[in-house]
Chain A
Amino acid sequence: MTAATLAYGVYGSRPRPAMGRAAALSALVHLALVGVLFLGVRFQNSPPATVTVELWDQPPPPPRVEEKPPAPPPKPAPEPEPEPQVKKPDIALKEKPKPKPKPKPEPKRDLAFEKQLREQAMLEQKRLDDARREREMRELIARQQAAARDKALRTWTDKIRDKIRGNIILPQDIPGNPEAIFDVTLLPSGEVLTVRKGKSSGHAGYDDAVERAIMKSSPLPLPDDRTLFQRRLELKFRPQDR
């Protein structure tokens, strides 16, 4: 065994330098990759949804509070001039000194009353405002709920129409893009009970094709929210909307 092999010991058992650091860095790289994948890659898969745009009026401006100009404080009554004191005569006359005239309490009472009135008016106004705001809020929420329900319902009917549309075998010669309306009665399981033509498209072949497609599509998809289920649906079809 030469000294050179002593330097490394047996062939190949030379220590692997910096392996721990390298492993830590490698883990870091993969964590970064995972982070990028999770944050960056997000596919959205949504069924064709109807776009509903609701144009709402601006809520009516709050009715102007008629502000009464605050009543000018009543002028304090001029104080009665103190009577000139009569010099007391040396000889005491049994006479009581006149009581000093009190300043009239009237103006003060008046002020307090005014204040009270104003406060009351303000309270009243506030209560009215609160009630009105609450009412508006409730209306707004109700409207939003109705809109959401409407949208969910439309999503459901869209899903149904998608399924049916896939089963329609279009006849070759349809003039224009006529609309056919069908009334469909459903069982709660989604199966089609009856199909009734509400309005013909004017092309018998197309009407028949749609009717056959509806029957073939049974059971129809159910809404995500079961409370939306309706037994009767009115479905509209046009040959060219895809």
Chain B
Amino acid sequence: MPTVTQDLDIWTLVVHASFVVKIVLAVLVAVSFMSWMFIFQKWFVLRRSLNQTLKFEREFWGGQDLNALYQGAVNHRHTIGSLERVFEAGYREFAKLRSQTGTHAADMVDGARRAMRATFQREMDFLERHLSFLASTGSVSPYVGLFGTVWGIMHAFRSLANVQQATLAQVAPGIAEALVATAIGLFAAIPAVVAYNRYSHDVDRLGNRFESFMEEFSNILHRQAVR
């Protein structure tokens, strides 16, 4: 006895979809893949950066000699965290200026500050990298999915024009096909938006930490320069 029920699973929906809808689906899947990849990567990077920052702050305020800290930072240049890089750049500039004779204390501190500011910008850029991708994924992919859906529904209704008697059964599969595009768009967008908000908040907090460190370190350098 032939079976009278036909299964409409996701695969048949995707296979029967029109060409444009297939392209939209492929784009969305690729975007979703990249967005998840950046979500995980940023998560690792930010967690690591926070740990490194905490560790360096402990070391710095633990009363270690600045020279020893600087040497340690130079020796592990490729593995140190952002805050340590800022410190390294500032202290290097300060040491250079101090070795020249006849530099004012205020100029030394200003030079160190500028060096730290430059490194700070670079580090912030590193931490914020790919965040804009998450932001645009979050805002654009629902529209892309919607476009696929609208296109699919247009197709579904066009097939309706050839029959005299319109039933729901003639459009329902087409509409279901089309809605898959919206579903995937939302699947790409929602995590991206959540991750973007979370990570930009984390990056802001790290930036604040770095900035306050720079101020405090400038004070220490000023004290050293005056002495």
Contact = CB atoms under 8 A, between A and B. Distances in A.
B37 A23 contact: yes
Nearest to A48: B4
B32 A19 contact: no
B44 A18 contact: yes
Nearest to B172: A45
Interface residues of A, number: 39
B85 interface: yes
B23 to A, nearest CB: 18
Interface in A187-202: none
Given A7-B77, A45-B173, A152 B1 contact: yes
A30 B122 contact: no
A32 to B, nearest CB: 11
A106 interface: no
Given A22-B38, A44-B8, A148 B1 contact: yes
Say what secondary structure dominates the interface of chain B: helix
Contacts of A7: 77-78, 85, 88
A41 to B, nearest CB: 5
B41 interface: yes
Contacts of B89: 4
B5 A46 contact: yes
B1 A149 contact: yes
B48 interface: yes
Contacts of A233: none
B6 interface: yes
Interface string A8-27: 10010010111101110111
Nearest to A223: B2
Given A41-B9, A152-B2, A17 B38 contact: no
A22 B36 CA distance: 8
Contacts of B44: 17-18, 21-22
Contacts of B11: 38
Contacts of B9: 38, 41-43
B165 A166 contact: yes
A14 B80 CA distance: 13
Nearest to A47: B4
B7 interface: yes
A152 B4 CA distance: 9
B1 A44 contact: no
A21 B173 CA distance: 39
A55 interface: no
B67 to A, nearest CB: 16
Interface in B156-195: 165, 167, 169, 172-173, 176, 187
Contacts of B39: 22, 26
Contacts of B143: none
A46 B119 CA distance: 66
A38 B126 contact: no
Interface of A: 2-4, 7-8, 11, 14, 16-19, 21-23, 25-27, 29-30, 33, 37-38, 41-47, 49, 148-149, 151-152, 155, 166-167, 224-225
The list of the 3 closest CB pairs from A to B, nearest first, reads A22-B41, A22-B40, A26-B36
Given A2-B115, A26-B34, 17 more contacts: A17-B41, A17-B44, A18-B41, A21-B44, A26-B40, A27-B33, A30-B32, A41-B10, A42-B9, A43-B176, A45-B172, A46-B4, A46-B5, A46-B6, A152-B1, A155-B4, A166-B165
12 contacts: A4-B88, A4-B118, A4-B122, A7-B77, A21-B41, A26-B34, A38-B11, A41-B10, A42-B8, A45-B6, A45-B7, A45-B8
